[in-house]
Chain A
Amino acid sequence: MINPAFTPSSDDLALLEVKDLRKVFIDRDFQTPVLKGVNFTLQKAEMVALLGPSGSGKSTLLTILGTLMRPSSGSFNMLGRELTTLKEKELSNFRNQEIGFIFQYHHLLPDFTALENVMFPHAGRLWRETRVGRERAAMLLDRVGLKDRMNYQATRLSGGQKQRVAIARALMNQPALVLADEPTGNLDRENADQVFDLMTEIQRETGTTFLLSTHDRELAERCQRRIYIESGVVVDQPVPRERTISAPRTGLRVIDGDAPSVVDRTSTTDRDLQRRA
């Protein structure tokens, strides 16, 4: 257990407040609005699923909340700091200490061991490895069930193990918020369930807020709260909609809970279909 005694402070529960966040991508003369005024709030110590069809702006939103990209307009405030006004260096520091990332693909550094990968955010900030950092990294790896794989080169780990290391790495600097972009999207069902369970447990133990984007409705249901995003705006509930998928051989008909409001005949993959079927 990382911190079994954790209980969120009751006096100030708001962690992140997003107001009228917009993002327009400009490519020569073309302007593509991706986020069209997103508003929502995240509380401390909650696990929230971000749902929406491909192209709805989930990844862009996570990238902006992760301070890796600046919004075109709007504001978002985290732990009392308005992040849109911070300079690049300040953002980098803030990201290092308050935000953890888990990607769909693990993105471990292949030349380093599991332990070194987990230590990296800490050692990279201090420009040196410390005993405290090493002990915390070891503890985190132990927590994700990889105690015996600590000194394995990242390339020698299986897909599920790599994603567990990525989770440990995201938690290394004890961030207030972990952003996970389809963290189980690259794993088979069994591994996906294990990784998700692990995240849920760690979230409860640490009180870290998790915002995870997923296509997996089943996993999303297991989160405390769900935010739906469609065509760049947050909606209250997705309207279940009957949709015919352009799969001539199967002719499958599915009811898609987080389907886009406009019928999208190209964005659903065969893998999605298989999972939902």
Chain B
Amino acid sequence: MRFDLKVALRYLLSNRLQSALLIGGVAVAVTVFTFNAALINGLAEFQIDRVVGSSAHVTIEPAQLRPAVLPARDNTDRLTASQVTLERREQIKQWRSVERTINTLPGVTGVSYNILGTGLVSRGQQTLPVTIKGVEPSRLAAIAPIDRNIVAGDARLGLNDVLIGRKLAENLGIRIGQPFFITSDQGRERTLTVRGLYATGIDSLDARLAYVNLDTARVMFDLPEGLSEIEIKLADIYVARQVAEQLAESTGLEATAWMDKNQNLRQALEGQGSSGNIIKMFTLITIVVGVASALLLTTFRRRPEIGIMRSFGISQRFVLSVFMIQGALIGVLGSLVGCILGFGFSTLLANISTGSGRTLPVDPSLGQYDVALLLAAAASIAAALWPARAASRIDPVEAISQ
């Protein structure tokens, strides 16, 4: 065993209560760190899952038509812009080639080829605006788990079927099997049959969105070939931006990642993350202050001993090392204990039901234990640096005569 390690261990063991308190202090800070990480990250996952779980991770849309910019006729520096033509509709025409590109992408778990449009639903004296989404029946649940959210009827989408949210059904006073009169924004009227009711828990969807067969939508919105959008689901939601950039580049279409489509969520998550980071920073500061002050006291108490060591030619580096090792041991042991406590505490809370079968959004697997271990050990070593330097610079003559 290295002799500096032996001396450091002996010093830690000689004052067991102080060492235990120090390790306990680091452990508590690391517990707070890891629990905070498990809570903030768990909460973020929960929120992301709620939003992203029933929507696309990457959405491909037609490139926006922009007004053409032309040089002015009088040869000046001015430019003129022509108005966007209203005759052309924004649509993805060559979607088969896009489909081939998507098929080559790794990590794609689901794709839906959609036609989107708006329409008005009439029932009795009531008329309500709705968003109509035409999807291939086989890909109905590729993006949102509509099949799992069906609360009445079933998820089949025949040519004359429509699936609507429970909220919309309540607003219209409509039930399974009843007719659904709809007029599309292209002026096409159609009578469909309510095949199923779904409830996603997101009001904006449950009250406004109606699913129809893709072929039905083609007729309703006069799109015999093209598509309004292509939605993609990924195994790793955090690569969505890269995938979107890649698709935009290779297809020339507009591809948007979920985080750019949900700015509010992004901001909320960033806010949460920042608060979490502040808490984590304070736990690290607690470690630094605690370890530094305790070791500084130890240094002061051991001044005569350090003076004696220096008097028989023990190097400053050796003394420095003894105190740095003490800091590192306190940090590593405290962090290990803290990680275990943090995991245990997070697991305990994650399993406590808050009523109606729900649990707190704490995810013990997201406790960032490796980061906590690394940072707490680094903080302890950094905290030991000052006392260690002070110890190594003790004047042996002054210390011995103390």
A interface with B by C-beta (< 8 Å): 63, 66, 68-69, 88-89, 92-97, 99-101, 103, 107, 109-112, 120-121, 123-129, 169-170, 173
10 closest A-B pairs by beta carbon, nearest first, are A96-B313, A95-B313, A124-B314, A121-B312, A111-B14, A123-B3, A107-B308, A111-B10, A92-B313, A68-B397
Cβ contacts A to B, 9 pairs, < 8 Å: A95-B313, A96-B314, A107-B308, A109-B305, A120-B312, A121-B312, A124-B318, A127-B2, A127-B3
Nearest-neighbour CB distance to chain B for A92, whole angstroms, equals: 5
Q: Which residue of A lies closest to B308 (CB)?
A: A107
Q: Which residue of B lies closest to A123 (CB)?
A: B3
Nearest-neighbour CB distance to chain B for A179, whole angstroms, equals: 10
B400 at the interface (CB under 8 A from A): yes
Q: B310, B313, B400: which contacts A125 (Cβ < 8 A)?
A: B313
Q: Count how many chain B residues have C-beta atoms less than 8 Å from C-beta atoms of the other chain.
A: 23
Nearest-neighbour CB distance to chain A for B364, whole angstroms, equals: 40
**Which residues of B1-28 have CB atoms within 8 Å of chain A's CB atoms?**
1-4, 6, 10-11, 14
Do the beta carbons of A107 and B313 come within 8 Å of each other? no
B311 at the interface (CB under 8 A from A): yes
Q: A63, A66, A100, A121: which contacts B314 (Cβ < 8 A)?
A: A121
**Binary per-residue interface labels of chain B (281-297) against chain A in the complex, 1 for a CB within 8 Å, 0 otherwise:** 00000000000000000
Do the beta carbons of B14 and A128 come within 8 Å of each other? no
Residues in A neighbouring B10, C-beta threshold 8 A: 111-112
Instruction: Indicate the member of B2, B304, B313 with the most A CB atoms within 10 Å.
Output: B313
**Binary per-residue interface labels of chain B (311-323) against chain A in the complex, 1 for a CB within 8 Å, 0 otherwise:** 1111110100000
Q: Which residue of B lies closest to A60 (CB)?
A: B397
Residues in B neighbouring A92, C-beta threshold 8 A: 310, 313-316
Do the beta carbons of B3 and A94 come within 8 Å of each other? no
Residues in B neighbouring A89, C-beta threshold 8 A: 315
Do the beta carbons of B11 and A111 come within 8 Å of each other? yes
Q: Which residue of B lies closest to A100 (CB)?
A: B312
**Docked pose: A111 CA to B14 CA in angstroms:** 7
**Binary per-residue interface labels of chain B (360-402) against chain A in the complex, 1 for a CB within 8 Å, 0 otherwise:** 0000000000000000000000000000000000001100100
B341 at the interface (CB under 8 A from A): no
Do the beta carbons of A124 and B3 come within 8 Å of each other? yes
